[in-house]
Every structure is written in C-alpha cells, then in structure tokens.
Amino acid sequence: MRDAVTGAVLAELAEYLGEVSNNVAEYRGAIAGLEHACELDPTATVELRLDSKLVVEQMSGRWQIKHPDMRELAKRARAVMPPGQVTYTWVPRAQNALADALVNEMIDSALGGGMTPIRRVDGMSAEDVLAEDIVGSIEVEHSRAVVQDAIARPPRVMVGWADVGAPTFTVMARHGATELSLEKRFSGTGGFDAPLADLGRAQADALAQELLERESIDRIVSSPLLRTRQTAQVIADRLGLSVEIMDGFAECAFGDWDGHTFAEVRDRWPLELDEWLGSTEVAPPGGESFSACQARVLRARGDVVKAYPGERVLVVAHVTPIKVMVAHAVGAPLDSLYRMELPPCSLSTLAWFPDGNASMFSFAEASHMRSLNTPRGV
C-alpha cells in the first residue's frame, strides 16, 4: 500500500492461503488491501492496481461474474468501502514487481514452516513495535485522521445560519418526454438519440414559461443528447440566452439494454440485471455503471461551480445525472437514486456554497405541468 501523493510505502501485508486458485488469491489480496485502507482512513479514495485482468474487469462492472465463489468474493470487496471511493486499474506484471516479491517472501517463509502472516506498517514489522510506539502511533494516526477529515468534509453549517458567501445554484431540469420514455424503455448515451415527442415539446414550452416568469436564470447548460438540446433550445429562445453543451451531464449508457423495457431486460438478461440492481459498480453489458456515471457528472458539476460562481445555472439533463447531483448535495449514498422519481421537465434546485457545503432547495417541482396530460413517471 502506497501513499498516492508521495509514493511512500504505508504497509506491506501478506498471508499464506494454502491451495487456492489464482483468481481467489487475487480477490483475497484486493480485499485485504481494501480492509487495511479502510482502517487507515475510511474516507480515502483508493486505486487498486492489479495484474489480474479478470478481477479488474469484474470489479469495474464490465465483465459479469458467473462463478458463485467469485461472486461472493466480489460482494466482500464491494462491501468494504462505499461505491465511488474505489477504482480498479490493470497493470502489467512487470509493474507489480514489489507485490510479487512480497508473495515470494511469504511462500519462502511458508515452505520453511513459518505460516505467520507478514504485516509491516511504515516499514516496521508489527512484532518489532514497542507498546509505547503503538500508543504513539494511535495518537498520531488519530490526529492525522482528524486533520484529513476536516479537509475532506465541509464544515457542518446550518443553511441560512451563517454567511458563507453567495452559492452557485444549479437548477436541474429533466428533458421533455420522448417516444422511448413514454414507452418506459431504457434510453441512454450510445443508443438511439431520441428526439422530443409532441408531448415533450409541449412540456418544454411549459417549462420555458415557468422559468421566464421566475426571471432567475443566468445561463443554460445542456447534455449533448438530442432531447436535452431540444428542450434547452426551447427555453433559451424564450429567455434570450445561449446554450452551452457539457458532455459530463449526458445520461448513463445502458449498452445492450438500450431500447428495451425493464420486463424485456429481466427476461433476456436476468443475472446481469440482478447484479446491476445489486451494485452501483456494475454496468449493463456494453454500458456504464452508475459509479462511473457519478464520477463524470460530479466533474461536470465542479466545472460549472468553478466557471460560474454565484450564478444560477439551468442544467438540462436526464434522470440519472440529476439524481446523482441531488444525492451528492444532500450527502446520500449513490444507491439512493433507486428511490427518486423525476417527471419530465421537472425542476430540482441545488445550491453549492464556497465553503464546500451544499443544500437542496427543491426536488422534482412539476406544478407547471399541471395543464398537460403527463403519463405518470415518464
């Protein structure tokens, strides 16, 4: 285990497993590394670098996990730290020489009758550390954790109770309905780039009128997909603004499921669907996981906040990116997106303060749609 900034070795851990498959050993190594990283700092961002292509692709959600034993090990690995904190990178074995050397050291010890796991922290063997050094280490690590936690987490401030500077508002608008959304079909990046249906254009008109009456939008940002660009342009024409395209706000890619209903996916891909619903790290076949989608959406959020401080930015996007933004603003886990509903052309307003705090001012406002016969949930 290395510090990502300095490259310093923080720990070396090894354990003799007896006769197991290479894949089991790779997974066990990944789990051991994650568990120790979580001990050091449960809020840390961790990159696991492995020369096992299978583990990297399965844990990244690009390959399905068919073997039941591997599935259980994958569940153990995913349970150690929250989704979004861990990424998996494949490296050639030549770049994993220190790990190989540690394996050989453990094997040599085991062949000589020594089955005690290797555990060196900060370059010292665990049994060589004096009791007072352990106490001191705990105090140092506690102090370090407090400092890191203060840096990583924004201060807890009741919204409206302290002057922390003008926030940047992102007014998140879902696009109008398409024929695919009316039929409840998966429709993501990489599939058919569906235009607005007639109902969707009427919804966009109603949304544009609502925003015109509010007189509160400084600029408009849109996902690159056709349905969001069309919705954004209707609003832009009414408000006299231009539209900036930001790729990071595109819908999640649903791969082979694009164009299919949930029932059709359940019938044709039952195992893959269960794994996808069970973990935000798992992607549909040929698609993108919610965790990967979250990473790019939050990068786009950061770009907006940095570029337009103190402004009110209308972001015309899709169900998944909007839910990701809402969850991030209120500190909810990523899997909370399974419990949110967003009607077409609804509005969700989020504030991003200069001190790092955030607040949700509204969610899924849709009263401006009351004159339209809007199918439920599309």
Tell me: domain 168-369, CATH 3.40.50.1240, correct? Answer: yes
The Cα diameter of the chain in Å comes to 80
Rounded Cα gap, residues 235 and 313, in angstroms: 13
- At 130 the pLDDT is 35
pLDDT by 10-residue block (mean), the chain, 378 residues: 81 87 90 89 88 87 83 90 85 80 84 80 48 38 42 50 75 96 94 95 96 92 98 97 97 97 95 91 94 95 95 97 96 91 95 90 93 60
Beta bridge partners of 314: 171, 220
CATH number of 11-152: 3.30.420.10
Rounded Cα gap, residues 283 and 64, in angstroms: 9
Domain boundaries, the chain: 11-152, 168-369
167-196 confidence digits (pLDDT tens): 999 999 999 999 999 999 999 999 999 999
Residues with active-site annotation: 175, 251
- At 186 the pLDDT is 96
Q: Are 111 and 312 in contact (CB under 8 A)?
A: no
Q: Are 83 and 280 in contact (CB under 8 A)?
A: yes
Provide the token pair at 234.
């209707």
Domains 11-152 and 168-369 share a fold: no
Q: Rounded to an integer, what is the distance from CA 315 to the centroid of its chain?
A: 19
Helix (H) or strand (E) holding 49: strand 46-50
Q: Is 357 helix (H, G, I), strand (E, B) or coil?
A: coil
